[in-house]
Chains A and B, each alone.
Chain A
Amino acid sequence: MSEHELQAIFDRKIENEVKIEPKDWMPDAYRKNVLRQMSQHAHSEIVGMLPEGNWITRAPSLRRKVALLAKIQDEAGHGLYLYSAAETLGTDRERIVLDLLEGKAKYSSIFNYPALTWADIGAVGWLVDGAAIVNQIMLQKTSYGPYSRAMIRICKEESFHQRQGYEILLTLCRGTEEQKAMAQDALNRFWWPSLMMFGPSDKDSPHSAQSMAWKVKRMGNDELRQKFIDQTVKQADFLGLTLPDPDLKWNEEKGQYDWGQIDWEEFYNVIKGNGPCNKERLAARQKAYDNGAWVRDAATAYAKKRAERKNKEAA
């Protein structure tokens, strides 16, 4: 079949909402685009373990400690699952991970912000997982089959995480003045970076239009961001916390909230590496990779020896 015919089949599938599967022909640019998104997503899960991991040993109760550990374990599981799904595009996990360490692949900028207090663990669950879910619900319908299936599975656990985070903040807000102040401070620091998670406005987003045409993405960045804001305002009200945006106001006519201006300079700065924890996060991943090399080598060598012994016994 000519490339022209293959392209036509691919286009028809996209048009008719038929998923693209690993063995199907797909344009190189599509493969690259999906791999970029999936690997970025997988890296985010893994790097995202670090700010939360920072609080495991200091969690204020055994119940919270266990819940936090279990949440981070889920994230490692999501990372693993996404790396495997990404590998179906023909690049192996080792290469995908090296791209992160070599600075060629990105992860969500939100994880370059520090988790400074226990309330941050609540805010991360509520806002960061909350924003991630809005994005992931949309991605359940993405055109690449393995990615879509990964999202369906991951979404269920993420909503549990979000409720857990919200519940941490609810406990703080019903607690002492000091606890409530801790919650407000966390919200003040995480609100705007959470809105930035949806990426630049569609008109400034380099990949948006093509991703939408391929149905890799099903909704624009601005639309998703608005959806997240609209659902989060009520939740903040219920906590008795104030969102740090003086321009936030219900717009009766539009049936949605009006809100202020994202500091895009901060966003681009953090992407370029100038965020509070960019260096630490990558350094932590690099260190784990380097320090683990001899362990991985040993496991490989042992597996080989064991296989050889088995072969000998069989012979």
Chain B
Amino acid sequence: MEKKQALFNYLLRLADNSAILGHKLSEWCGHGPELEEDIAIINTALDLLGHSRSLYTYAGEVEGKGKTEDDLAFLRIEREYKNALITELPNGHYGDTIARQYLFDQFNYLLFIELEKSSDETVAAIAAKAIKEIRYHLRRSIEWTLRLGDGTEESHAKIQEAFDDVWAYTGDLFVQDDSDLVIIAEGIGPDLKAIQPIWREKVKATLAEATLLIPEDGWMHSGSKQGRHTEHMGHILSELQYMQRTYPGCEW
């Protein structure tokens, strides 16, 4: 695979991760457990959407077909979205959202500190800007994992179950394909296989501090890099794309 195609694929995956998780988080707006949490969760959604905009814009440049951030964000078919499956899962209760968020934040943080060193200057610049916010997201989702894990009996049970349920979607974060191999060879991004054990150690430590058990590594979902999604994705896209599909070619 040529470098340009691999980079385009890679950027879309990163952008889709941020865009879809940002989309899910934004659904909490006005419905959070506390006003302060509404503000914090919107903040995270805003950061992630901001990252996706930079990444889509750069992906459009790399592709060289004149596509804008909105063309890429709104006008692909489901199979062309490459976000990790974990990002498209339903919000569930607040513990489900926190478990999903912590596992993703921990991954995203380890990924972006590597991307800061990317041989691609634009990727490195985007990562350097994003990592400050991702560091904050991680701190916040660790804090909430501790609060819920080591809070009340009820919250402990709820967040443990949330981690158990979401665990089978974590393997998908680390699957690599031909694009990844080019990206690694070119020094654009890290080898996810090298990140995985660090991720696991960090997660184990956080869960232990939260008095939670790390779930068993059993069978894992996969497919996001081929655009094979969960049933949830179509519903996300039907909302996300509603305006662009109903009124094609308009300025907003």
Q: Is the interface of B mostly helix, strand, loop or mixed?
A: helix
Which residue of chain B has the shortest Cβ distance to A298 in the bound complex? B151
**B46 close to A288 (CB less than 8 A):** no
The interface on chain B, measured as residues whose beta carbon lies within 8 A of the other chain's beta carbons, has a size of 50
Considering the complex, give the chain B residue whose CB is closest to the CB of A49: B30
A143-172 near B? 1/0 per residue, CB < 8 Å:
000000000000000000000000010011
| Beta-carbon contact of A118 and B252 below 8 Å | yes
A296 within 8 A of B: yes
Residues of B within 8 A of A83 (CB): 35
Which residue in chain B gives the minimum CB-CB distance to A297?
A: B152
Is A22 at the interface (CB under 8 A from chain B)? Answer: no
Please pick, from B26, B31, B43, B46, the residue contacting A57 in the complex, using a CB distance under 8 A. Answer: B26
Q: A193 interface residue, CB < 8 Å from B?
A: no
User: Would A79 and B35 count as touching, CB distance under 8 A?
Assistant: yes
Q: Is the CB of B244 within 8 A of A296?
A: no
**Nearest chain A CB to B160 CB, angstrom units:** 12
B124 proximity list for chain A (CB < 8 A)? none
* Contact A69/B46 with A64-B252, A76-B39, A294-B154 known, Cβ cut-off 8 Å: yes
B97 to nearest A CB, angstroms?
10
Measured between alpha carbons, how far is A140 from B31 in the docked complex, in Å? 30
A-B contact count (CB 8 A): 143
Query: Would you call B199 an interface residue if the criterion is a C-beta within 8 Å of the partner chain's C-beta atoms?
Result: no
Q: Which of B81-89, B162-170, B235-243 contacts A (4 or more CB under 8 A)?
A: B235-243
Nearest-CB residue, chain A, relative to B43? A73
A-B contact sample (20 more), CB < 8 A, given A46-B30, A296-B33: A49-B38, A56-B26, A57-B236, A60-B247, A63-B53, A65-B49, A66-B53, A70-B46, A72-B30, A73-B42, A284-B30, A288-B31, A292-B33, A292-B34, A294-B152, A295-B33, A295-B34, A295-B148, A297-B152, A298-B154
Residues of A whose CB lies within 8 Å of any CB of B are 46, 49-50, 53, 56-66, 69-70, 72-73, 76-77, 79-80, 83, 118, 168, 171-172, 174-176, 178-179, 284, 287-288, 291-303, 305
Cβ contacts A to B, 10 pairs, < 8 Å: A50-B30, A62-B49, A62-B53, A118-B252, A174-B251, A175-B251, A288-B31, A294-B158, A298-B154, A301-B155
List the interface of chain B (C-beta within 8 A of A).
Answer: 19, 23, 26-27, 29-39, 42-43, 45-46, 49-50, 52-53, 56, 69-70, 73-74, 93-95, 146-148, 150-152, 154-155, 158, 236, 239-240, 242-244, 247, 250-252
